[in-house]
Amino acid sequence: MRALLLENLHPLASTVLGDAGFDIETRSGALDEDELIEALEGVDLLGIRSKTEVTARVLEARGDLTAIGAFCIGTNQIDLPAATRAGIAVFNAPFSNTRSVVELAIADIIAMARRLTVRDKALHDGIWDKSAAGSHEVRGRTLGIVGYGNIGSQLSVVAEMLGMKVFFYDVDDKLALGNATRCSSLAELLAAVETVTLHVDGRAGNAGIFGREQFAMMKPRSLFLNLSRGFLVDYDALADAVRSGQVAGAAVDVFPDEPKNRGDHFDSPLRGLDNVILTPHVGGSTEEAQEDIGRFVGAKLRDYVHGGVTSLSVNVPTLTPERTASAQRIAHLHANTPGVLARANHVLAEAGVNIERQVLATRGECGYAVTDVAAPVSPDALARLGAMDETIRLRTV
């Protein structure tokens, strides 16, 4: 089987899959739609990060893909409904780089509060400007976290350890950690805090959630961070807020349109502004995080192909079936309709197949059954299972 790994994934991903018998092809940058369709010919597994868009057109053209690994947190760059319709399982790394993002957020907050970039630039320009003006401790400051998921909640704990008072807002009902205070609305949070940081997911409804209206609602001379998604923020409005002094400092790691390759030209209305920290989408890009992501997602892809395990898949039902000493395992993705498992088992019974173990899980309109059988199933019986109206993808593993 063949695996195509894009966007400079950690070498450990290649090691995990190579040791499992995959033929690995790696490429350094992202691919556009046409390039990706061409590159995926004959490929079973695709590994990407955040810049490669796996659209419905790509998935329709290459529906024979077995699985996709997003070697990052987000999966909004993948058309998940189209992947599910094609029977392509998608896996990501929801936890592996949370600490890296949290540490960058803390570093940005301290750097902005102390105006370190301004001090650094002055010295590089040959100007000695020793002054406490505009420099503050983070101890005692109020931090507002928009999005209290894996990253936001961990940031909450670390910020409290530094002496910050934490408020958070999330559309879902989340348990407050430590002494954090939950806010019932974004407006309530903005009125209470001096530093605002975004950590929401990439769903379409979050686009443009922070613009001129929200910056105007912030306390004067507040700090602002976006280490989440580029399309969340109106950066022209942020630049104006910085110039006016409404926002005293900003740290941005994500942008609406990001270059595909290292060394490409980058532009933003935030370039050149004092006390604005710009980083090239490196929130999760520490060697430790990328190594863990390479191992984690690589193992998920391997275990799905060789064992039918869908643990932590983002789009198909989750099953972690124990491996028995059976002769064959049948992995059956199907439409979640009443009686489909009975019909599949009737096909196996007519073929004289003895079922040793069977597990089923459903998720929305999709069902997933893993069946261990005592002897190899005949090609004719497998063909009948594959021809069932409800079948989305049938594999033997």
Angstrom distance (rounded) from CA 285 to CA 200:
18
How far apart CA 259 and CA 265 sit, in angstroms, is 7
* Active site annotation includes 281: yes
Strands 2-5 vs 328-335: parallel, antiparallel or unpaired: unpaired
How far is 397 from 20, CA to CA, in rounded Å? Answer: 13
Active site residue 395: no
* Single-letter amino acid, residue 132: A
Answer yes or no: 258 catalytic: yes
Phi, psi of 117, deg, nearest 5: -65, -35
Q: In this structure, are residues 290 and 342 in contact, taking their beta carbons and an 8 Å threshold?
A: no
Q: What backbone torsions phi and psi does residue 81 show, to the nearest 5 degrees?
A: -60, -40
Catalytic residue among 114, 229, 334, 393: 229
Spot the catalytic one: 85, 115, 141, 281. Answer: 281
SS3 letters for the chain?
CEEEECCCCCHHHHHHHHHCCCEEEECCCCCCHHHHHHHCCCCCEEEECCCCCECHHHHHHCCCCCEEEECCCCCCCECHHHHHHCCCEEECCCCCCHHHHHHHHHHHHHHHHCCHHHHHHHHHCCCCCCCCCCCCCCCCCEEEEECCCHHHHHHHHHHHHCCCEEEEECCCCCCCCCCCEECCCHHHHHHHCCEEEECCCCCHHHCCCECHHHHHHCCCCEEEEECCCHHHECHHHHHHHHHHCCEEEEEECCCCCCCCCCCCCCCCCCCCCCCEEECCCCCCCCHHHHHHHHHHHHHHHHHHHHHCCCCCECCCCCCCCCCCCCCEEEEEEEECCCCHHHHHHHHHHHCCCCEEEEEEEEECCEEEEEEEECCCCCHHHHHHHHCCCCEEEEEEC
Active site positions, annotated: 229, 258, 281
